[in-house]
Structure 1
């Protein structure tokens, strides 16, 4: 099992790195789109009709990809006051419960995001000329990654490996 977990950790580390780079590229591209829109509107007295919807779509992607990477690296929002007062074994149980809940949330994001995308499949975004389903794909992609990264954390903890969470060693580069 250790070999399989090591291989999965390597693959998910690559997926996480790619997601982080895509999120960063999306942030930069969104900034370029909005800057161009401001320049065109206020300097050239014209407007780029596709810049705002494209920027909103990019924002969805970099938010959900970044959130998923934050889950993997243990940076997601948590309420840790109780954890200062309980023994290590109890912490690990609470971390596992938290990761299971986050995995369920990610699965729900992916499931209901896919339902929304399918319901908007035939809608065409007028300024971009593409399917309205594209608006909901960040929910699906981010939800799948949140689920995968949360499950990875559960397996790592079960195998006794660090998970980069509250006093654990950082996720080791496998």
Structure 2
């Protein structure tokens, strides 16, 4: 089980990094497209029709991929003042409930994003001449990543890893346990209890 967790952590970290790079590239590309639109409109007096629609599509991708990375990196806003006053066991229960809600939200993104995509697939985006259903692909992709990253945290918590720390600290615990030959879950659990 511990070897699978180390393998999954490694691949999900790479997937998270890839999603972050795609988000960043989409943001830069959208900025270039909007700059071209402004230049074309005010300097050339000939605004291209495809710029607005393509910018909105790119914005959907970098918003939903970035949000999914935020789930893995634990950078979303949260109200956790109450958790500071709870014993460790209660903290884990509440964090697991929170993860289940985020997991359900990710499933909802996949299901309803797919339904909306299928419903609008036969329509055409006028400016791009692409199927309208493509507009909902970012929702589906973001939902898949949210589900994977939340599932990773829930499995890690069940294995006794300190998943409520930063992802780098969790990975350090995995590598330390793997390098010393101890069981990953036992080593990480003892480290988390000692903290």
Alpha-carbon deviation of 1:75? 1.3
| Separation in 1, partners of 2:167, 2:9 | 17
| Separation in 2, partners of 1:36, 1:99 | 42
Q: Secondary structure at the match of 1:172?
A: helix
Counterpart position of 2:188? none
Greater relative CO (CA pairs within 8 A, separation 6+)? 1
Counterpart position of 1:49? 49
Counterpart position of 2:158? 158
Counterpart position of 1:36? 36
Does structure 2 conserve the Cα–Cα contact (< 8 Å) formed by 1:162 and 1:168?
no
Q: Secondary structure at the match of 1:146?
A: helix
Q: What's the RMSD between the two structures over aligned residues? A: 1.6
Q: Which of the pair has more CA radius of gyration? A: 2
* Number of corresponding residues: 173
Counterpart position of 1:116? 116
| Separation in 2, partners of 1:9, 1:79 | 26
Does structure 2 conserve the Cα–Cα contact (< 8 Å) formed by 1:106 and 1:147?
yes
| Separation in 1, partners of 2:6, 2:171 | 10
More helix by share: 2
Alpha-carbon deviation of 1:9? 1.0
140-149 or 78-87, which deviates more: 78-87
| Separation in 2, partners of 1:160, 1:91 | 13
Alpha-carbon deviation of 1:146? 0.4
Counterpart position of 2:4? 4
Q: Any residues of structure 2 matched to 1:1-174 within 5 Å, and which?
A: 1-165=1-165, 170-172=169-171
Spell out, residue by residue over 1:9-45, the C-alpha distance to the aligned partner (whole angstroms, 9 max, x if none). Answer: 1111111110000000000000000011001101111
| Separation in 2, partners of 1:146, 1:154 | 12
Does structure 2 conserve the Cα–Cα contact (< 8 Å) formed by 1:68 and 1:145?
yes
Spell out, residue by residue over 1:100-126, the C-alpha distance to the aligned partner (whole angstroms, 9 max, x if none). Answer: 110010000011000000001111111
Alpha-carbon deviation of 1:161? 1.6
| Separation in 2, partners of 1:38, 1:163 | 46
| Separation in 2, partners of 1:168, 1:65 | 17
